[in-house]
Amino acid sequence: MALQRRATATNNDGGTAGLSAVVTKPTGTLQGDVIYAFIGIADGVAGLTVSAPDGTWTQLLNYNYDASGSQHLDIWYKTAGASEPTSYTFTYTGTTGGATQAWCTIAASYYSNTTGDSVAVDQQQTGGVTEPAGGTNQSPSITPSVNNCRVVSCFCLDESATSPPSWTASSPAGMSVLAQVTETTTNFGMCICEDDQTTATADSHTLTQSGGDTNRGPLTFIMSLKEVVVVEPHPYLNVTIR
């Protein structure tokens, strides 16, 4: 498959909650790669909003698990330029009384091996699932619109009084947990997974969860990534006729 992942990176608040979350640039990211930033915030409120560090980022998702905003997931993406910082700081507002919140972040960079192509979101779906006995977490189902997509999911679980969550891949075959991160002061955590879909058929990701809050399911998100042709402007056709 020509669509490839370059690298991933994780970060958390280190036990010092704040009003901003730091996304670490994946090591080895090159100009033209598309970076996806997954930002999980614990104990937000329904009106919580997240702002990017600059205008090069596009927001893909701003989602609260329930009316009180007890779990919040923001997803942003950008095309890497010739010179990128080692990290990106996203700020958030709308927390109760301006209170600081625990956060975790995961970044993943993708690229195409096909000359002149880039990466874009094909389909996306969000959901909150009820966790059944045995610690099984399942994402919504998604059906790519084209062949040869890479399906990426994110699971974000609110804080637990006992232990941080941990996930292992269950199904489908070939799906893997790429990265997971926890904030150990509040035992809040998140992970991302991926698999390849060579045909445009329905797909969902199922994980086995250990630790964390067994009385509620995680906030979930799934998307399919596809190759797209980058059309460059022709130097002689972009003219004004007077």
pLDDT tens digit sequence for 33-43: 999 999 998 86
* Digit-coded pLDDT (tens) for 107-152: 999 999 888 889 999 999 987 655 555 578 889 999 999 999 999 9
pTM: 0.90
> What are the residue boundaries of the structural domains of the chain, listed by start?
3-229
> Which residues make beta-bridge pairs with 239?
none
* Digit-coded pLDDT (tens) for 114-123: 888 899 999 9
Burial class (CB in 10 A: 0-12, 13-18, 19+), 214: middle
Within the chain, residue ranges assigned H as helices are none
Residue 98 φ then ψ, to 5°: 70, 15
Q: What amino acid occupies position 193?
A: C
Residue with the two structure tokens 């370059």? 6
CA angle 103, 109, 113 (to 5 degrees): 170
